[in-house]
């Protein structure tokens, strides 16, 4: 009985690392962080190139405005002044896309998907 228990523990010890290595590594999203003061992105318009198929996480902090809008993907998200607003998506469509703060139509970023 003791030999069976030792054998079972040994099999589990071998199986755990094998199962963990069989899973594909999770890829981190491309992070684009933008701070907006009085309708203008601090440091200017953020220009980022992204690989098609990758996950993108846009984080916008602003002291005014009502929503952010990613043109081309037609994604919108309400903003809360002073709180980070996160817009995450998979970049499936190639091209160049503007992220704007509405209602002032201020361009915050230009994303190029290749």
Domain annotation covers residue 87:
yes
pLDDT at 22: 53
pLDDT at 87: 97
DSSP strand pairing (106-113 vs 46-50):
parallel
Domain annotation covers residue 19:
no
Tens digit of each residue's pLDDT (9 = 90 or more) over 8-51: 455 445 555 544 455 555 689 999 999 999 999 999 999 999 99
Domain annotation covers residue 8:
no
Domain annotation covers residue 41:
yes
Domain annotation covers residue 42:
yes
Question: Is pLDDT at 52 greater than 60 in this prediction?
Answer: yes
Number of structural domains, the chain?
1
pLDDT at 5: 43
Domain annotation covers residue 99:
yes
Q: What is the CATH number of the domain that holds 62?
A: 2.60.40.420
pLDDT at 90: 97
**Residue 61, φ and ψ in degrees, nearest 5:** -115, 125
| Coil, helix or strand at residue 95 | strand
Q: Which domain holds residue 42?
A: 30-113
Domain annotation covers residue 22:
no
Tens digit of each residue's pLDDT (9 = 90 or more) over 88-113: 999 999 999 999 999 999 999 999 99
């Amino acid at each position: 009985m003791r030999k069976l228990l030792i054998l079972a523990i040994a099999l589990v010890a071998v199986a755990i690392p094998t199962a963990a290595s069989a899973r594909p590594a999770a890829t981190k999203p491309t992070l684009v962080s933008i701070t907006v003061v009085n309708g203008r992105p601090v440091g200017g318009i953020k220009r980022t190139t992204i690989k098609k198929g990758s996950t993108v996480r846009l984080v916008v902090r602003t002291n005014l405005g009502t929503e952010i809008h990613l043109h081309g993907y037609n994604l919108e998200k309400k903003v809360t002044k002073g709180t980070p607003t996160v817009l995450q998506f998979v970049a499936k469509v190639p091209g160049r896309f503007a992220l704007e703060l509405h209602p002032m139509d201020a361009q915050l970023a230009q994303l190029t998907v290749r």
